[in-house]
Amino acid sequence: MTKPKLIWLNVSFFLITFLIAIIAVPYRAFTHGFDSAEISFAVICFIYCGMSITAGYHRLWSHKTYQAHWSLRLIFALGGAFALQNSILHWCSDHRIHHKHVDNNGVDPYSAKMGFWYSHIGWMLREYQASRYTDYTNVRDIQKDPIVAWQHKYYFQLMILMNVGIPLAFGLWHGNILNSLLLVGFLRLVLSHHTTFFINSLAHTWGKQTYTDKNTARDNGFLAFLTFGEGYHNFHHIFENDYRNGIRWWQFDPTKWLIKSCEYIKLTSQLRVSPEDRIAKTKLAMVLKRSQQKLKSHPDAEKLLERLQYEYDTLVHKINEYYAVRKQVFALKKQQLVEDVENSEPMKQYQVLKQRLADQQRSWQLFTANIA
Ligand SMILES: [Zn+2]
Ligand SMILES: [Zn+2]
C-alpha cells in the first residue's frame, strides 16, 4: 500500500525547529550563554503553553470536565496558539475521535497500534485522514463558545503573534533578541511539542494498566511529571469526565491543582469527579482479572480461584455497604437534618463499616500479593 502524501509544511517545520533546538541553542549557550532572566521566562512560557493544552484544550474543551470564566478561556486560547497545536476546535475534534475509537487504526487519529513514531509525530506528517480534516461535527457544542470560534478564525494571526511577538518583545525589552528567539521561541516550542506528543506515544506504551487492559493507555508517574499530570492516562481513558488525571492528592497533577485553585477565585466551577466507589471497583476488577490469569496454571487452580472469587465478592459487597452509608452521612451533614451528626446512628454504622472494609481490603491484598 502506498503511503499518503507527505505534508511538506509540517515535515519541514518540525525538522527545522528541532534542529535549531538541538544544534543552535546549545551552540549559543557555549559561545555566548543565556542569563537567568531568559531561562526563567522560557520556563514560564513552557508552563503556560503546556497548561493551556492540558487544562484548556484537553480537560476543559475536549472533555468538559469543568466550566471556566471567559477570561481564563481567553488565556488558554492564546496559550494554545502559543503552543502551536492547531486551533481548539481542531484539536478537540481529533481528541474526541481518539477517545471514541482508541487504538482503532485508520480512525483513531494517533492510534498507538500504528507504532510509536506514528502516534508521536508521524500522524501529522502525511495526509492520513485528509477526508475528515475540516469535519467538525463532533465539536458542535464547543463551537458555540465565542472564544473557540474566534481563536479558530484568527488562528494563524494569533499563532504568529504569540510565537514571534512574545519572544521578540521579550528580547527587545531584555536586550538580546537572538537569545530570546532561540530560547523562548524555538527551544520552548520544541520542548512543549514533544512533551505533549508523549501523551499520545509514551502514555500509550509505557506504564501500568491500573484500570483497564482493553486499550493501550498507561499510568506513568514519571510521564505525569513531564506532561503537567497527563501521565495517568489509563485512568483518564476510563474516567474521561473527571477533571483530575492523578486522583490521589500526592499524584503529580499540576493541571488538577490549577483547576482546583481557580475554583477558589471563581474562575472555574462545576468540577466533575467520578464516584469513588466506581473507581475503586474498576481497579479491583482489574486485579481480579490479573490474578485469575496467574492462577490458571497453578496446580491447585480450582480451589484458589474459588477463594479469590470469594474474597473479591466480599470486598465488593463491603465497598457497596460502606459507600451507601457514607452517602447518608454526607447528606445528613449537608442538610443538617440531625443536630449531632457525629453521634447519629448512620455515623456509628459508618465507622463500623469503614473498619470492616479496611479489614477485608487487607485480607484481599494479602491473598492477591501471594498470587503475584
Ligand atoms: Zn482525553
Ligand atoms: Zn490517549
Q: Could you read off the pLDDT of 245-300 as tens digits, one per residue?
A: 999 999 999 999 999 999 999 999 999 999 999 999 999 999 999 999 988 888 88
Phi, psi of 190 (to 5 degrees): -65, -45
Cell 469535519, residue?
135
For the chain, what are the domain ranges? 8-269, 276-371
Strands 268-269 and 67-68, by their bridges, are: antiparallel
Q: Is the pLDDT of residue 339 over 90?
A: no
CB 80 within 8 A of CB 52: yes
Crossing angle of helices 345-371 and 301-335, rounded to 10°: 150
For the record, the C-alpha cell of 348 comes out as: 456509628
For the record, the C-alpha cell of 258 comes out as: 490549577
Tell me the CA–centroid distance for residue 180 and ligand 2, in Å.
33
Q: How far is CA 14 from CA 11, 18, 107, 174, in A?
A: 5, 6, 24, 28
Cell 466507589, residue?
277
Q: How far is CA 292 from CA 204, 233, 362, in A?
A: 24, 25, 19
- The number of the ligand nearest the C-alpha atom of 218 reads 2
pLDDT tens digit sequence for 134-193: 889 999 999 999 999 999 999 999 999 999 999 999 999 999 999 999 999 999 999 999
Tell me the CA–centroid distance for residue 43 and ligand 1, in Å.
25
Banded pLDDT at 338 (limits 50, 70, 90): low
- Whether this prediction's pTM lies above 0.85 is answered by yes
Banded pLDDT at 330 (limits 50, 70, 90): confident
CB 122 within 8 A of CB 114: yes
- Which residues are 208's β-sheet partners? 219
Cell 448512620, residue?
346
For the record, the C-alpha cell of 100 comes out as: 471514541
pLDDT for 370: 82
- The number of the ligand nearest the C-alpha atom of 233 reads 2
Cell 463491603, residue?
318
Q: How far is CA 61 from CA 84, 99, 237, in A?
A: 17, 14, 16
Q: What 3-state DSSP class applies to 219?
A: strand
Tell me the CA–centroid distance for residue 138 and ligand 1, in Å.
14
Tell me the CA–centroid distance for residue 84 and ligand 1, in Å.
18
Neighbour count for residue 185 (Cβ, 10 Å): 26
pLDDT for 333: 81
Tell me the CA–centroid distance for residue 319 and ligand 2, in Å.
29
> CB neighbours of 63 closer than 8 A, spacing ≥ 6?
240, 241
For the record, the C-alpha cell of 346 comes out as: 448512620
Tell me the CA–centroid distance for residue 219 and ligand 1, in Å.
13
Q: For residues 357 and 343, what is the distance between their CA atoms, to the nearest angstrom?
A: 21
Pick from 178, 238, 242, 250: nearest CA to 210: 238
Q: Is the pLDDT of residue 79 over 70?
A: yes
Pick from 157, 52, 143, 50: nearest CA to 93: 143
For the record, the C-alpha cell of 322 comes out as: 460502606
> CB neighbours of 316 closer than 8 A, spacing ≥ 6?
281, 284
